[in-house]
Structure 1
Amino acid sequence: MMRWMAMVGMICFLTFGQALSTYAETSWTKEEAIETTKNAFQAQVSLTEQERTKTDIRSILTNYFTEDFIQDYMNEVVMQGEENYIVYATDIPTMTIPFYEYEAPFTFKQEEKRYHLYQFFPKTTEGPVSYDDHYEMITFENEQGKWKVDKISIMDEKPVIEKETKTSDVQVPTLSFLPPYWTIKHILLAF
């Protein structure tokens, strides 16, 4: 009988632990997304400063970008230098973190297993670069427990996020047969 109760207790503990793990994986804030975006931008800018090996370049990007993104980036943006490799410019829009105005409002939404961070860029004709009204969006995916940049998009119209999920709507399964005030200590003491 004791063995059976211990097994039930272990199953409950593992189920509850998995629920918390799933919740933690899906919980991510706008502030964290903006911070990741800033760091990813700095990582890309650093690649224009000096030549590096391909391994070094991958190492710098791995903290902020998915493997799929890095593969495309290496093929399209990284160039052979005099001795190693370098990024000569950050002007390929779908491969470079946008020049966001971090003091301006962002929109941050979750869609299934992705997050999207985007900002509106009003038309400008001043300076060396001109463009029409548009939106620039970063799509994040969770790769090995860490949210990373997976895609950069530029759109004329406001992005439509299908099957939008609000972070507050994420449900954490509970052990409904236990009183709500029980903690792990109570569960273990019961067995």
Structure 2
Amino acid sequence: MKKHAMIVLALLMTFWTGNYASAKVNTVHPSRIEVFTFMHDAFQAQLKLSEAYHTKAETERVLTPYFSKSYTDQFLKENVVKEAQGYISYGGDLSPYYIPYFSYNGDTKMIYDDQKHKLYVYEYFPDETDGPVKYGDHYEMITLKLYGPQWKIVQYTFSKEKPVRSVKTFHEIKAD
């Protein structure tokens, strides 16, 4: 019995620390790769909510390592429905508060604000007239904020105008 308890404890610690580690980004000077990996993991967490039914607490636990409380609340309100079996996200091409389909290359811009301890990740998306989803030229941006030692996604912005202007406290984080 003691052996089984130790195995269960080891598995729980692996899952717990694994989640935390995947949500961690260098707080001093985050690299593009660290931030892009973090955002990819955040997007995977969002997608996980469409794979199976969850309790309300489980949905929040899946998103908490990556998103602020207010962002999580907005995402759940807009994208997650309660069914008899539990909570689930059905997603879609234009679902609000999902991480955008960034290219994660030189077209994806990243700006760090030294004063506000925020990261702005954005990209320009040209006019799309083919296919089932059509939209005009626009920018999409995700804002991340430093909470103690951890970054969290705090805002999604959809804009016709370039969302970030030059400011003295802004520094672009360029590709390596």
> Under a length normalisation based on structure 2, what TM-score does the superposition of the two structures give?
0.74
Identify if the C-alpha distance between structure 1 residues 140 and 91 changes in structure 2 by more than 3 Å, giving closer, same or farther: same
Distance in 1 (alpha carbons) for counterparts of 2:154 and 2:100: 14
Is the aligned partner of 1:127 residue 2:134?
Answer: no
Tell me the CA shift for residue 140 of structure 1. Answer: 0.1
Tell me the CA shift for residue 154 of structure 1. Answer: 0.8
Partner of 1:25: helix, strand, or coil? coil
Distance in 1 (alpha carbons) for counterparts of 2:172 and 2:132: 40
Same amino acid, percent of matched pairs:
30
| Equivalent position amino acid for 1:165 in 2 | F
Aligned to 2:14: none
**Higher relative contact order, chain-length normalized (CA < 8 Å, sep 6+):** 1
Alignment of 1:21-100 (within 5 A): 25-91=27-93, 93-100=95-102
Aligned to 2:171: 166
Aligned to 2:23: none
Aligned to 1:188: none
Structure 2 regions of 5+ residues with no counterpart? Answer: 1-25
Q: Does the CA contact (< 8 Å) of 1:90 and 1:96 recur in 2?
A: no
Structure 1 regions of 5+ residues with no counterpart? Answer: 1-23, 169-191
Q: Does the CA contact (< 8 Å) of 2:75 and 2:96 recur in 1?
A: no
| Equivalent position amino acid for 1:30 in 2 | R
Aligned to 1:140: 144
Distance in 2 (alpha carbons) for counterparts of 1:144 and 1:79: 32
Deviations 1:66-121 (A, max 9, x none): 11211222223221012211111145554111122234521100122211001111
Distance in 2 (alpha carbons) for counterparts of 1:142 and 1:64: 11
Distance in 1 (alpha carbons) for counterparts of 2:88 and 2:148: 27
Structure ID, larger Rg: 1
Tell me the CA shift for residue 49 of structure 1. Answer: 1.1
CA RMSD of superposed structures (Å): 2.1
Higher strand fraction (1 or 2)? 2
